[in-house]
Structure 1
Amino acid sequence: MGTPLSWLARRYTWSPRSVRAAAVASVVAAVAIIVTGGVVRVTGSGLGCPEWPSCTGESLAPTAEMGLHGAIEFGNRLLTGALCAVVGWLIVAARLQRDPSPAVLRGAWAQFWVIVLNAVVGGITVWTRLSPYVVAAHFLAATLLLTTALVTWERVERAEADAPGPTEVSARCAALGRYLLGCTAVLLVLGTAVTGSGPHAGDSSDVHRMPFDWVGVTVVHGVVAGVCLVLGGVLFAALPAGSVARRRTGVFLAVFLGQGAVGVFQSLTALPSVAVVLHLCGSALVWSGAVRVVLAMRRRAPAGAQPTARLARSTTAAGA
């Protein structure tokens, strides 16, 4: 017995443009869920809805007495529903292709289950009254969602490529890309420690903090950021000119420098709310950049093309 999707697939076929648009929309929505989570934090609305999954013990939605905080927190919860709709669109669009890609379908369904995970962790965040450790886990779950969205988007782009040839970059560059991704992951985790141990920007309530020295953690965070920047620079110099990976590394470095400037600014200016939200948005973009760089290492050159690095070596050898 077939599924409703298989029944639809026998009757309808959607264009590749639909799955591409849905994949991009899922990435945008994943970034938005991270940014709106920052808005919830800086407005002190984390417990605007004091219960989960309902807003209160008696009402699914906030009441007028709960004011702006309740509306902001409930709005963030509604965005999860919108995210489910976008991922549902992606699943349907991927299934209704003339030649569906199993890899794209797996990525779309993975996004759905990570959304469920993120919602559950969000509920635990409310139940634990904003424990900084659970708040950090909530951010990392949202980052995992962004990662699955980026991987799916890359799979859509590859499914549209014609007759791929050999890889574009060397093993050394691929290793540097993995080091860059790992360093960026450590940077994100340290960022949650900086956030969890420092002042709770925008919130006047008594919120528990992590028992770390905020200045010390911030310094370590900055040192790791410097390592990431060096790795990115070395990788950019090592990659062959004109490759997809080099272009993506250049974008990563530009975003990283902007993110660093925002981070320094917010640390020196008592964490203004706008800067905190911008820094959260920047963290999502930096992570996206690092993931896209690594994914580009696996990208294949057009049919008949030789890897740029290998072509350069063969030309040098011929000249000799």
Structure 2
Amino acid sequence: MDLVVRVWRALLAWLVDHRYAVLVANLVGQIGIVGTGGAVRLTGSGLGCSTWPQCEPGSFVPQFHAAVTYHPFVEFGNRLMTFVLGFVAIAVAYVVWRDRTRARSFRLLGWAPLGGVAAQALIGGVLVLLELPPILVSLHFLISMALVALSLVLVHRDREGDGPPVALLDGATRALTHVLAVLLVVVLVLGTLTTGAGPHSGDDEVGYRLAVDPLLMTKIHAAAVWAFAAVLLVVVWRTRAAAGRPDAARTHRAALVLVALTVLQGSIGYVQTATGLPVALVNLHLVGAALLTAGTTRVWLCGRRRDEAAPAVPTAPAAPATTPA
């Protein structure tokens, strides 16, 4: 028992000493689970496990039998990934919340991954029990994007102070980073609707779970992506003009990375459409959406700085009142 306690304490100490690595692992996991979740949807394995939280009645794992297919194993793999990510989220909450030197806002943010994983597990169970209603399937994906963004914020905030945010860009450029973030949300929502209207909506029997024109949704989604790219290029141009300042240079570098991600994501989108939406490319497009979310969040965060919070100044005791002699 003493050995177990010592190992446990050593593990907790290691996690605290490597907090940044834990936060990065959480970010990687939040992006990675988009790929496993996408595999479930794209292979029509959402009902591979017939119930939840068990996979089959009386068993938490898939059962081998003559009629078994690969679907239960795809779905179980994604559930297993959720458990792994849950353990990482618990570690994030522990290492962030226990640091009493940091602001309460940062410490509370450390609970976001754990809350998100719990919400995703609950929504996933409801999806199975309700046989994959398309709106909830879309919500499942969008919550993952929010968790990717929050996880990137945690990684970024870990290397910042806790003082009030100070804008590093001129007003117009900073406003453009806000517009970029809003356009990303539009792109993600339209992307989920486009997938739900297409042949990879997550159901082998019902090819198109949303009653909208797939081609029309694809064109609207592409238009939103072009608007996003146009605003991003303006941000790149404006930050390059001020790249002599270290603060603006950091935003410029982050914007250039986002340009590369946008070009890659757009290329995958057009190729998958032209080649009949092969499953591998569609899943790569989903992971690309998570990377695009992280990249956009990074650009937005680089537009401001947090210094160390000023220590509280003790209040001087009031001078005793005196009365004239």
Q: Deviations over 1:175-233 (max 9, x none)?
A: 10010010011000000110000112786433551010111111011111100000000
Alignment of 1:292 with 2:298, yes or no, is yes
> Residue 124 of structure 2 aligns with which residue?
122
* Contact 2:160 2:307 (C-alpha < 8 Å) held by counterparts: no
> Residue 308 of structure 1 aligns with which residue?
none
Tell me whether 144-153 or 262-271 shows the greater mean CA deviation. 144-153
Over 3 Å counting, the alpha-carbon distance change for 1:168 and 1:259 in structure 2 is same
* Contact 1:150 1:292 (C-alpha < 8 Å) held by counterparts: yes
TM-score (normalised: structure 1): 0.84
Aligned-pair identity (%): 33
> Residue 41 of structure 2 aligns with which residue?
41
> Residue 265 of structure 2 aligns with which residue?
259
> Residue 79 of structure 1 aligns with which residue?
81
Over 3 Å counting, the alpha-carbon distance change for 1:201 and 1:141 in structure 2 is closer
* Contact 1:111 1:149 (C-alpha < 8 Å) held by counterparts: yes
* Contact 1:147 1:288 (C-alpha < 8 Å) held by counterparts: yes
Letter in 2 for 1:283: A
Q: CA deviation at 1:99?
A: 3.1
> Residue 220 of structure 1 aligns with which residue?
220
Tell me whether 257-266 or 113-122 shows the greater mean CA deviation. 113-122
Bigger fraction of residues in helix: 1
The SS at the match of 1:158 is coil
- Aligned CA RMSD, in angstroms, stands at 2.6
TM-score (normalised: structure 2): 0.82
The SS at the match of 2:305 is coil
The SS at the match of 1:299 is strand
1:278-289 to structure 2, matched below 5 A, reads: 278-289=284-295
Cα distance in 2 for partners of 1:165, 1:260 equals 33
Alignment of 1:155 with 2:153, yes or no, is no
Letter in 1 for 2:26: S
Q: CA deviation at 1:165?
A: 9.9
> Residue 269 of structure 1 aligns with which residue?
275
Runs of at least 5 residues in structure 2 that lack an aligned partner in the other structure: 1-7, 309-325
Alignment of 1:211 with 2:217, yes or no, is no
1:180-219 to structure 2, matched below 5 A, reads: 180-200=180-200, 204-206=204-206, 209-219=209-219
* Contact 2:99 2:107 (C-alpha < 8 Å) held by counterparts: no
* Contact 2:165 2:305 (C-alpha < 8 Å) held by counterparts: no
Letter in 1 for 2:214: W
> Residue 96 of structure 2 aligns with which residue?
94
Over 3 Å counting, the alpha-carbon distance change for 1:265 and 1:199 in structure 2 is same
Q: Deviations over 1:38-58 (max 9, x none)?
A: 111222211110111111222
Cα distance in 2 for partners of 1:165, 1:217 equals 38
Over 3 Å counting, the alpha-carbon distance change for 1:101 and 1:301 in structure 2 is closer
* Contact 2:165 2:304 (C-alpha < 8 Å) held by counterparts: no
* Contact 1:45 1:69 (C-alpha < 8 Å) held by counterparts: yes
Pick the aligned partner of 1:134 from 127, 133, 136: 136
Tell me whether 147-156 or 225-234 shows the greater mean CA deviation. 147-156
Runs of at least 5 residues in structure 1 that lack an aligned partner in the other structure: 1-7, 303-320
The SS at the match of 1:215 is helix
Over 3 Å counting, the alpha-carbon distance change for 1:198 and 1:166 in structure 2 is closer
Cα distance in 2 for partners of 1:280, 1:221 equals 14
Cα distance in 2 for partners of 1:283, 1:169 equals 26
Over 3 Å counting, the alpha-carbon distance change for 1:219 and 1:25 in structure 2 is same
> Residue 306 of structure 1 aligns with which residue?
none
Cα distance in 2 for partners of 1:218, 1:199 equals 13
Q: CA deviation at 1:16?
A: 6.7
Cα distance in 2 for partners of 1:271, 1:201 equals 12
Q: How many equivalent pairs are there? A: 292
Q: CA deviation at 1:105?
A: 2.1
Q: CA deviation at 1:164?
A: 9.8
* Contact 2:48 2:74 (C-alpha < 8 Å) held by counterparts: yes
Q: Deviations over 1:121-164 (max 9, x none)?
A: 111211221222111011011112212211111211214x9x99
Alignment of 1:238 with 2:238, yes or no, is yes
Cα distance in 2 for partners of 1:165, 1:43 equals 44
Cα distance in 1 for partners of 2:268, 2:45 equals 23
Letter in 2 for 1:269: T
Cα distance in 2 for partners of 1:206, 1:266 equals 21
Cα distance in 1 for partners of 2:156, 2:24 equals 10
> Residue 21 of structure 1 aligns with which residue?
21
Q: CA deviation at 1:91?
A: 2.1
